[in-house]
Amino acid sequence: MPAEPTAVPRPPAASASSTPVLTGAEAVVRSLELLGVEDVFGLPGGAILPAYDALMGANSLNHILVRHEQGAGHAAEGYASASGKVGVAIATSGPGATNLVTAIADAHMDSVPIVAITGQVFSTLMGTDAFQEADIVGITMPITKHSILVKRAEDVPGALAQAFEIASTGRPGPVLVDITKDAQQAEAPFVWPPKYDLPGYRPVTKAHGKQIQAAATLIAEAEKPVLYVGGGVIRGRASAQLKTFAETTGAPVVTTLMARGAFPDSHEQHLGMPGMHGAVPAVLALQESDLIVALGARFDDRVTGNTSLFAPNAKVVHVDIDPAEIGKIRAAEVPIVGDVAEVLVDLDTAFRSTVGAEVPEYAEWWQYLNGLRDQFPLGYTAPTDGLLAPQQIISRIGELTGPEGVYVAGVGQHQMWTAQFIKYERPNSWLNSGGAGTMGYSVPAAMGAKVSQPDRVVWAIDGDGCFQMTNQELATCVLNNIPIKVAIINNSSLGMVRQWQTLFYDGRYSHTDLNTGHDSKRIPDFVKLADAYGALAIRVEKEDEIDDAIKLALETNDRPVVIDFVVSSDAMVWPMVPQGVSNSYIQYARDNSPAFDEEA
C-alpha cells in the first residue's frame, strides 16, 4: 500500500546555549530532514550551489540528479501522487527555476503537493538583470498556492515549514521557496520548530451540519442520483469512505480522469469514466440524472462539454475543500466546504438516519443504466493496416501487471486508452497530467513514483511524441537503479492532434507526422536510443510478440525497460464528445449513427 505521510516531527525547542549556528544552506538541509523528507530531485547551479555543498553531508537525504529541471518537477509530482507525501524539487536561479514552471503549473492544476526550492541571485543584485536572474516568485505566483522569497538565513526554517504545511493541507498544491545566495551563505541560529504565522490560511475541514442534512435529504428524495467523483477523493485519501457511502446509498458512481482508482472498477456500482472520452453509461448517467453529488470534482469542461447544456435536470450537491471551486462552473443547491473524507462519513450517518430502513433502490434508474452497459461495453475497432492495436497492448500491460502496479501516462491518445483499458482497483495507481495536459510528464513522473514505491511495478505508458520530450531521464533511472518500464505507443505521429485533424479538418495532417514508426526512417530509433542509455530495449511489431515483451519487462528489475510498440496511426479514441457540444451528442450518435455501436 502507498505509504502514509508522516507527521512533521516537532522536537522541543533547543535552549539558547545549545542552539546551533548554521548557514542558510545548512538550514535548508536540516529543515528538510526534520520535515521527514527522504528523497529530493534536482540539478545544481551557481545560485543554489551553497545548498548543494551542504547536501554533501546529508546522509539521510537521497538526492537524485536529474538531466533537466522539468524532470525534477515531474519526478516530485510522481513521487507525491504515488505516495501521498510532499515531493521536493531543487533548481538554481534563472533558467533552472523557469524550467520548473511547467511542472509547477501541472501540480497546481492537479492539486499535487510539491515544494520547489530555487536559488536566487544575491539580494543586492536583485532587480539589476544580474546573470541568471529571474523573478521566479512573480512568475509562479498564479500557479502556486504560495511563493516565498527568503533573503535572510534565519528565515529559512520558517519558510520551509510553512511551505510544507501549505502544500500538504487543505487543497494540496505546489509551493515555491526562492532563497537568495547570500541568505544561503550567511549564518544564523537554527531554531526548530520555527515560529511562523499564516494569516488567513485556515482550511475548513469540518462541514456544516445543516448542509450535511440538506444533502442527505436530497439524496434520499432523488430518483436518478449519481456520485460524480473527482481527483479530490484521491488527494483527500477518501476512497474507503467513498466505498462505504456508495454502498449505503446504492447510487451509481462515475470517476473522472483524475479519480481513476478512487472507486474499484470491478464494483457493480461503477459506471466508468465520464467526459469527452468517457464510457457511454457514465456520460449519460450524468447527463440524465436528477441529482449530482460532486465529490472533490470541479466540473471540468472535459467532463461537462457545453456547460449550459450539461445535466439540465440535475440538482447539485457539491463537496470540496476549496470554496473557490463551489459554484465556479455549476451552481450548487447544497454547497459543502470540507474535507471529503470527513464529509463522506457525516453524509453516510445523515443518510442512514434520514431513510431509516427504507433505503432507496433506484430500480428504474439502474435498469436503464445496466441496459446502457450491456449495449455499449468498452471496445475498439481492430486496425485494418496490419499494425498493432494500441488498446490491446495497454489492456495486456494491465492484465499481466495487475492492480498493484502503478501506471503513469503521458498526454494524448495513449493517455485516454490507459485510463479506459486498464482496470484500476486502488487509489494512487493511476498518474497522469490531467488539467495541464503536459507532454513529457510520463517518464520523469514514473521515475518519481518508483522512488517512492520501490516494491511496486511502475509503467510509463507514453506516446512517441511525449517520450521525445523527457526521455533523457532514462539516464537518471539507469544511474540511480530506478527500474521503470516504458511502453512507447508508437503511432509515428502526434496522435490526438491527428485524430482531431481526421475528424474536424478533413484529414489535413498539418505537421503531425513524427517519422518514428514502421513506414519511416525511424528518427529516432527508440530501440537504439534506449540501448544507448543502458536500458533493456525491445521492439514489438507483431501481435504474438506482445505478451512475451511485457513478461520480459516484468521480469527485468536491474535496469529500466523500453518497449517500442509500433501501432496503427489510424487508431482512434472512442467514444468522443466533440469540444463545446452537449454531452447529449452521445445520445444523438447512439440513435443516428450505424457505426456508433462499433466505435463505442
pLDDT value, residue 17? 55
Residues 219-242: tens digit of each pLDDT: 999 999 999 999 999 999 999 999
Average pLDDT over residues 123-129: 97
| Largest separation between any pair of C-alpha atoms in the chain | 83
Residue 305: DSSP 8-state: B
DSSP state of 331: -
For residue 322, what is the enclosing H or E element? none
Mean model confidence pLDDT for the chain? 94
Identify whether 315 is a catalytic site residue: no
Residue given cell 470554496 in the structure block: 323
Lookup: cell for 98: 523557469
Residue 342: C-alpha distances to residues 264, 319, 346, 347 (Å):
20, 11, 6, 9
**Cβ 207 vs Cβ 350: under 8 Å:** no
N-to-C CA span, the chain: 34
Burial of 313 from C-beta contacts in 10 A (0-12 / 13-18 / 19+) = exposed
Question: What is the radius of gyration, based on Cα positions, of the chain?
Answer: 25
Please tell me the least confidently modeled range out of 193-202, 230-239, 333-342, 447-456: 193-202
Catalytic (active site) residue 181 = yes
Q: 304: which DSSP letter?
A: H
Percent of the residues in the chain that have a pLDDT greater than 70, as a whole number: 94
Task: Look at residue 2 and tell me whether its pLDDT is greater than 60.
Answer: no
Q: Which residue among the candidates 122, 126, 132, 213 is catalytic per the annotation?
A: 132
CA dihedral 506, 508, 512, 516 (to 10 degrees): 100
Q: Output the CA torsion sign for 421, 368, 362, 330.
A: positive
The predicted model gives 70-85 an average pLDDT of: 98
How much of the chain is in helix, strand and coil states, percent to nearest 5? 40, 15, 40
**Any catalytic annotation for residue 496?**
yes
* Residue 131 appears among annotated catalytic residues: yes
Domains of the chain listed by start with CATH number? 16-189 (3.40.50.970), 209-375 (3.40.50.1220), 390-566 (3.40.50.970)
Which entry of 273, 276, 469, 496 is annotated as an active-site residue? Answer: 496
Cell numbers given for 587: 445520445
Does the active-site annotation cover 587? no
Question: Which residues pair with residue 147 across a beta bridge?
Answer: 176
Read off the pLDDT of residues 430-456 as tens digits, 9 standing for 90 and up. Answer: 999 999 999 999 999 999 999 999 999
Annotated catalytic residue: which of 181, 315, 450, 485? 181
pLDDT of 392: 98
Which residue in the list 26, 41, 69, 70 is annotated as catalytic?
Answer: 69
Instruction: Supply the DSSP symbol for 226.
Output: E
Which pLDDT tens digit goes with each residue over 475-515? 999 999 999 999 999 999 998 999 999 999 999 999 999 99
